[in-house]
Structure 1
Amino acid sequence: MSVEKESVFIHPTADVSSQATIGEGTKIWHQAQIMPGARIGGNCKIGKGVYVDSGVSIGDNVKIQNYVSVYKGVTVEDDVLLGPHMTFTNDLYPRAFVNEYTVYETLIKKGVAIGANATIVCGVTLHEYCMISAGAVVLSDVPSYALVVGNPGRVVGYVCKCGGRLEVEKLPKQGIQSKTTSCLKCGKGYEFQLGLIPVL
């Protein structure tokens, strides 16, 4: 195992491959399994029963809560929260009797938060700071700062970096080109251009 500093904590019941890379300050808890070739950045928290597949890349300051499996093809950038029991799929057409499948890349960008028991179907991108509510099923790409709920998942609003809700009405296709708003929780200001993309 490649460990960048001695500050890494690995629980005695965790199974961490000697061919995995673990960043400084990371903590890996009970019964986690980290496969060969996995890369976990610094200051991460890997919860009980987490599985990280070969070739997976996880950024810095990531929290993976209990019983999450991160399969081959998933990339997790910095500052991401993966809530307990959330699920990444790794096969669009699963059959028990078929031994071959295509790996579809799934990208979880900086600052994303995924709630407990949510499902992320493979092949999508979750853009910066979006928030996926508990139990949501994500079938397609999610815009930056979007709040997604339900099955199938749908955008119902937008959130600040701090997680607070932004009060933004849907902009028309023509006419108003932008709108400003601020977070009700922390006061941070945002400008939304046509299509509800935050411009900081």
Structure 2
Amino acid sequence: MKIHKLSDVQTSNVGENTRIWQFVVILKDAEIGANCNICANSFIENDVVIGNNVTVKSGVYLWDGIIIEDNVFIGPCVAFTNDKYPRSQQYPEKFPKTYVRRNASIGANATILPGLEIGESSIVGAGSVVTKDVPPHAIVAGNPARFVKWINDNEKN
């Protein structure tokens, strides 16, 4: 495990061979899997679970209620949200769960609304605004994100 000296990692739940770069803040109850790469200027709240072999590029904030499975790629500046009706100083009793299923990829600057599921092996195009669940093996793009095509077996990793 490599934790940059300019990061603030409060959790002890970090897997082997995970790299955490400068200016990353990870709160005490977060769980980070093995062989992950958490890039600079990212923030991870308490009720967050990250699987193995996950890449979180720079400028990503993972709020309470986000679950990321194995082999996921999250591009730079992806914006996750966790409150359907945000108001200053008013918080829900429990935040909805957002799931990013294994082998999914989310392009740079995409916005993911709360309580959704990004399906296994799916791709969310850069800059997309995801307002509903993304099916497994689908490519979605746009604002709002719409189905583009299915990923066939030859295109899967």
TM-score (norm 1): 0.75
Distance 1:95 1:112 in 2: 31
Deviations along 1:87-110, whole A, 9 cap, x unmatched?
A: 1001111122x4222401101100
- Give the counterpart of 2:50 among 35, 50, 58: 58
Q: State the secondary structure of the residue aligned to 1:110.
A: coil
- In structure 1, the gaps of 5 or more residues are 1-7, 160-165, 167-181, 189-200
Q: Counterparts of 2:134 and 2:91 in 1: how far apart (Å)?
A: 28
- The answer to whether structure 1 residue 14 and structure 2 residue 13 are counterparts is no
Superposed displacement of residue 20, structure 1: 3.4
SS of the residue 1:22 aligns to: coil
Residues of 2 paired with 1:41 and 1:148: CA distance?
27
Work out which of the residue numbers 18, 31, 39 in structure 2 matches 1:39: 31
- In the alignment, what sits opposite 2:41? 49
Tell me, in whole angstroms, the C-alpha distance in 1 between the residues paired with 2:121 and 2:128. Answer: 16
CA contact under 8 A between 1:34 and 1:52: conserved in structure 2? Answer: yes
> After superposition, where does 1:155-194 map in structure 2 within 5 Å?
155-159=147-151, 166=152, 183=154
Deviations 1:42-61 (A, max 9, x none): 00000001111102110000
- Provide the rounded CA distance (Å) in 1 between the counterparts of 2:143 and 2:18: 34
CA distance in 2, matches of 1:44, 1:95: 33
Cα-to-partner distance string for 1:121-176 (whole Å, 9 max, x where unaligned)? 010011100000000011111111100000001111022xxxxxx4xxxxxxxxxx
Counterpart contact for 1:83–1:116, Cα < 8 Å? yes
2: CA distance, partners of 1:118 / 1:76: 16
Determine what percentage of the aligned residue pairs are the same residue: 38
The TM-score with structure 2 as length reference comes to 0.95
Contact kept, 8 Å, 1:31 with 1:50, in 2: the verdict is: yes
Q: Give the corresponding residue for 1:109.
A: 101
Q: Distance in 1 between matches of 2:37 and 2:83?
A: 27
Amino acid in structure 2 at the alignment position of 1:9: K
Secondary structure of 2:77's counterpart equals coil
- Cα RMSD of the aligned pairs, angstroms, is 1.5
Three-state SS of the structure 2 residue aligned to 1:48 is coil
Quote the Cα distance in structure 2 between the aligned partners of 1:57 and 1:91: 18
Equivalent of 2:84, from 92, 96, 108? 92
Q: Residue 5 of structure 2 aligns to which amino acid in structure 1?
A: P
Q: How many residues align?
A: 156
Give the aligned partner of residue 125 of structure 2.
133
Greater relative contact order (Cα < 8 A, sep 6+) = 2
| In 2, Cα distance between equivalents of 1:113 and 1:149 | 12
What SS does structure 2 have at the residue aligned with 1:75? strand
* Structure 2, unaligned runs of 5 or more: none
Q: Which has the larger radius of gyration?
A: 1
Secondary structure of 2:150's aligned partner: strand
